[in-house]
Amino acid sequence: MSTFFAPGRVNLIGEHTDYNGGFVFPCALDMGTTLTITSNSDRVLRFRSANMPEVVEVSIDEAFQPLPNRLWANYPLGCIALLSKKIGGLPCGYDMVFEGNVPQGAGLSSSASIEVVTAFAFNELLHAGLTRTQIAQLAQECEHRYAGVNCGIMDQFVSSWGKANHAIYLNCETLEFDYVPVRMDGISIVLTNSHSPHKLDAGTYNERVRECEQAVAMISKKLPIRRLAELTTDAFNKVEHTLTDPTIHRRARHVVSECERTRQAVRALQSGDIVTFGQLMNASHCSLRDDYEVTGHNLDLLAETAWQVEGVLGSRMTGGGFGGCTVSLVRNEHIPAFRRIVGQRYKDETGIDAEFYVAKIGNGVSEIQG
Ligand code: GLA
């Protein structure tokens, strides 16, 4: 029996930039998914979850097709399928139990933690020799092919490479990255779960991916680029007139400005300027609200209320958007008032109880018991 753990993540800034070849700045959480595996002689993959009732069985002698009805087991199945293909098949069946403590639908990458823990575990058990970056890439491919979401690399990458007390400044084009210490004396990263029923579904996410591709195609008539993140703000100003569709124009403006904000935010954090970092987080939220249109009423309410609370340095939506969480930087002595004021206003306006977590920045995937 072997046990593995992979974390969820919170992105501090750099949203919807990863699939545009831009920068992101996420950290791994101490919440995630634990996977316990034993081999079996039944020649089946048996998926159990401590969080879901159904047990899913798939024969290892059949082609690993995606399961119908968007079953959660598609995440691990897809990773095993892709890995098995690389190494020419599985030697036996396996019984797996998954147990997660990342709140689902909260935009904290519970699905990436399932994918990465599976890919890492099978890479170890089958001696497949993948690096952490290759594990992240395989998990991303699984998300595309088995969950139908054409996501970027951020979530899987940070779940793979995360480091306690550090954020990852990742160039999503080259996959080069730096660990940046997150030292903010007297300030905490507070996650607020909107428990909002309106999740970012695959359709809306993939629509944004397509809109960015359309922007690249329009701009390329004037200036050959492959990805929006190749444009500096100055370069964008010179070519933005090619974006004749106003929606596409706003989408591209978000990506270019968010890449710039991410660069500035990392510089600010490195020089200990948390005030500037917080202001850039607020500006990021506004851009995601007005230009990228992925926030929605409930996340706007959480962020905009937080901006008014004493001791809040910055607050924004984090992750894909619509439902899910905001991430806020809050001075420790103001956290109780923050919870009370934001929680009450949110309850009054939506009828929903928000939930608050003080984030701890954890490590990437590992074996915890061999
Ligand atoms: C989701 C995707 C990521 C990234 C974010 C938005 O979490 O899985 O790849 O695009 O949305 O920044």
pLDDT tens for 41-98 read 999 999 999 988 889 999 999 889 998 877 889 999 999 999 999 999 999 999 999 9
367 assigned to some structural domain: no
Give the global pTM.
0.97
Q: Percentage of the chain surpassing pLDDT 90? A: 92
Q: Are 359 and 158 in contact (CB under 8 A)?
A: no
CATH code for the domain in which residue 88 is found: 3.30.230.10
List the 56-59 sheet strands across, edge first.
56-59, 44-49, 93-100, 26-40, 2-11, 366-369
Distance, CA of 346 to CA of 37 (rounded, Å): 41
144 and 92: one domain?
Answer: yes
Asked if residue 30 has pLDDT above 90, the reply is yes
Distance, CA of 76 to CA of 65 (rounded, Å): 12
Grade residue 264 by pLDDT with cuts at 50, 70 and 90.
very high
Candidate of 23, 111, 154 to mutate for ligand 1, largest count of ligand atoms within 8 Å of Cβ: 154
Asked if residue 15 has pLDDT above 80, the reply is yes
141 assigned to some structural domain: yes
237 assigned to some structural domain: yes
Grade residue 322 by pLDDT with cuts at 50, 70 and 90.
confident
CATH code for the domain in which residue 242 is found: 3.30.70.890
Candidate of 109, 150, 155, 287 to mutate for ligand 1, largest count of ligand atoms within 8 Å of Cβ: 155
Range of the domain at 251: 187-358
Q: How does pLDDT run across 267-312, given as a tens digit for each residue?
A: 999 999 999 999 999 999 999 999 999 999 999 999 999 999 999 9
Mean pLDDT of 252-276: 98
Residue 216's pLDDT is what? 98
| C-alpha 201 to ligand 1 mean position (Å) | 12
End-to-end Cα distance, the chain: 7
| C-alpha 318 to ligand 1 mean position (Å) | 9
List the 355-358 sheet strands across, edge first.
312-318, 325-331, 187-193, 355-358
99 and 198: one domain?
Answer: no
Q: How does pLDDT run across 187-225, given as a tens digit for each residue?
A: 999 999 999 865 667 789 999 999 999 999 999 999 999
| C-alpha 115 to ligand 1 mean position (Å) | 15
115 assigned to some structural domain: yes
Q: Name the residue type at position 76.
A: P
20 and 166: one domain?
Answer: yes
Q: Ligand 1, residue 24: give the atom nearest the CA.
A: 12
73 and 176: one domain?
Answer: yes
Point out which residues pair with 366 in neighbouring strands: 5
Q: What is the phi/psi pair of residue 359, to 5°?
A: -75, 140
353 is a catalytic site residue = no
92 and 138: one domain?
Answer: yes
Q: Ligand 1, residue 109: give the atom nearest the CA.
A: 7
| C-alpha 154 to ligand 1 mean position (Å) | 6
Candidate of 13, 109, 151, 295 to mutate for ligand 1, largest count of ligand atoms within 8 Å of Cβ: 151
163 and 201: one domain?
Answer: no
Burial class (CB in 10 A: 0-12, 13-18, 19+), 27: buried
Q: What is the phi/psi pair of residue 256, to 5°?
A: -65, -45
Helix (H, G, I), strand (E, B) or coil at 197: coil
Q: How many domains does the chain have?
A: 2
Q: Which of 42, 155, 201, 245 is catalytic?
A: 155
160 and 266: one domain?
Answer: no
199 and 78: one domain?
Answer: no
| C-alpha 262 to ligand 1 mean position (Å) | 15
Provide the strand spans (E) within the chain: 2-11, 23-24, 26-40, 44-49, 56-59, 93-100, 166-171, 177-181, 187-193, 312-318, 325-331, 355-358, 366-369
For ligand 1, residues with CB inside 6 Å are 11, 15-16, 18-19, 151-152, 154-155, 319-320
